[in-house]
Amino acid sequence: MKKEEILENTAKEYFNSAEDEFNKQRHNSAVVLYFKSLVAIIDLYIIQNTKNTPSSHTERFRIVQDKFPEIYNVLDKDFPFYQNSYIQMMTKELAEAIIK
């Protein structure tokens, strides 16, 4: 299976799992999974446009900031939700914010 197919499949799986967790009111898990879905989609976009796959959040941020600033704005907006999900309880409203 090619990287592109794997990224597409994992993005769908993460998103569907996030929806399940959200519906069970497990908002921290939902936020993490929504963000992972977003990252998989961004990685797919990066590989389609550069033929490279980032190996870390730092590299991903650098690539999208340099080459795809419109995507960087989305990633930069949502990354704090992902980070905060480890140290605070996410509310339904915060989980919904990452979906938008």
Q: What is the CATH number of the domain that holds 69?
A: 1.20.120.330
The DSSP code sequence of 38-87 is HHHHHHHHHHHHHS---SSHHHHHHHHHHH-HHHHHHHHHHHHHHHHTTT
Helices 69-84 and 57-67: angle between axes, nearest 10 degrees: 150
Q: Which residues does 12 contact at the CB level (< 8 Å), separation at least 6?
A: 37
Return the DSSP state at 88. Answer: S
What does pTM read for this prediction? 0.87
Number of separate domains in the chain: 1
Containing structural domain, residue 43: 3-99
Q: Which residues does 19 contact at the CB level (< 8 Å), separation at least 6?
A: 30
pLDDT, tens digit (0-9, with 9 covering 90-100), for 3-49: 999 999 999 999 999 999 999 999 999 999 999 999 999 999 999 99
